[in-house]
């Protein structure tokens, strides 16, 4: 497990941009005012909640761990984010990182776990960050006197140390060429229903190319077709 506060972890150091004549300090996203980042996330999500605070902090930590200081600018094609739940925190992660399904930089696995994994595509280094369940109870320590537990968590998550808010796992994430951003590398036609399937998502069944709904059943039930 990574030690979040260790000064021996060089990926936690402030980043700099090298110039031809020397080195100029560069403000990484995690050095920007937290409230400013949170405000933009809330604007996109629609309301302020504990999940927004949690998601913003999780995203900033993930980017810092993999060394992506400028996720919306020069580093936007250098990383992937995997999210494991479709809750408020995921909108915050998308807002902070700029990653999205349409850009193929955000991947969704429906595990129902408040966790996300950040992968640096250049170094291969990856960290999975999970929200600690015990942080809910620790909120009383950091925001005493607030009777509503959700408001208490919201305020506590702003200031709670990362070590108490998150568990960090250094992981390896095998990445297929079909999962990378860019144009589709393959496009084939389902031999049963005729739809086209991109990005290697087809199923080969007894020598036939099938889309996943035909091969495995879909999330929908067909009522009519025109």
Reported as a single tens digit per residue, the pLDDT across 176-220 is 999 999 999 999 999 999 999 999 999 999 999 999 999 999 999
pLDDT at position 5, please? 37
Q: Give pLDDT, residue 8.
A: 31
**Domain ranges in the chain?**
10-179, 183-226
At residue 4's C-alpha, the angle toward residues 130 and 167, to 5°, is 15
CA dihedral 136, 137, 142, 145 (to 10 degrees): 110
Its CATH class, for the domain covering 10-179, is: alpha beta
**Pairing assessment for the beta strands 79-83 and 22-25 based on DSSP bridges:** unpaired
* Predicted pLDDT of residue 225: 87
Which residues in the chain land under pLDDT 70? 1-25
The DSSP secondary structure of 168-222, one letter per residue, reads EEEE-----GGGSSSS-S-EEE-TTT--EEETT--EEETTEEE-HHHHH--SS--
Question: What's the pLDDT at 31?
Answer: 94
pLDDT, position 25 = 58
Task: Kindly report the pTM of this predicted structure.
Answer: 0.86
Question: 49: which 2 tokens?
Answer: 């909640």
């Amino acid at each position: 497990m990574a030690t979040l506060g260790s000064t021996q972890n060089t990926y936690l150091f402030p980043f700099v941009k090298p110039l031809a004549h020397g080195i100029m300090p560069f403000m990484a996203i995690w050095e920007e005012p937290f409230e400013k980042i949170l405000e933009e996330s809330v604007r996109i999500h629609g309301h302020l909640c504990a999940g927004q605070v949690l998601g913003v902090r999780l995203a900033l930590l993930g980017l810092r761990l993999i060394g992506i200081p400028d996720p919306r600018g020069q580093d936007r094609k250098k990383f992937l984010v995997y999210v494991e739940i479709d809750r408020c925190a995921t909108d915050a992660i998308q807002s902070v990182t700029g990653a999205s399904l349409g850009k193929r930089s955000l991947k969704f696995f429906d595990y129902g776990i408040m966790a996300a994994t950040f992968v640096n595509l250049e170094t291969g280094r990856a960290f999975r960050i999970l929200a600690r369940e015990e942080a809910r109870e620790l909120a009383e320590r950091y925001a005493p006197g607030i009777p509503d537990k959700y408001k208490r968590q919201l305020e506590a998550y702003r200031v709670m140390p990362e070590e108490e808010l998150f568990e960090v796992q250094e992981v390896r994430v095998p990445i297929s060429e079909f999962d990378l951003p860019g144009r589709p590398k393959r496009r084939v036609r389902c031999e049963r229903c005729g739809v086209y399937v991109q990005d290697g998502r087809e199923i080969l069944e007894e020598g036939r190319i099938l889309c996943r709904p035909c091969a495995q059943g879909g999330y929908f039930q067909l009522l009519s077709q025109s």
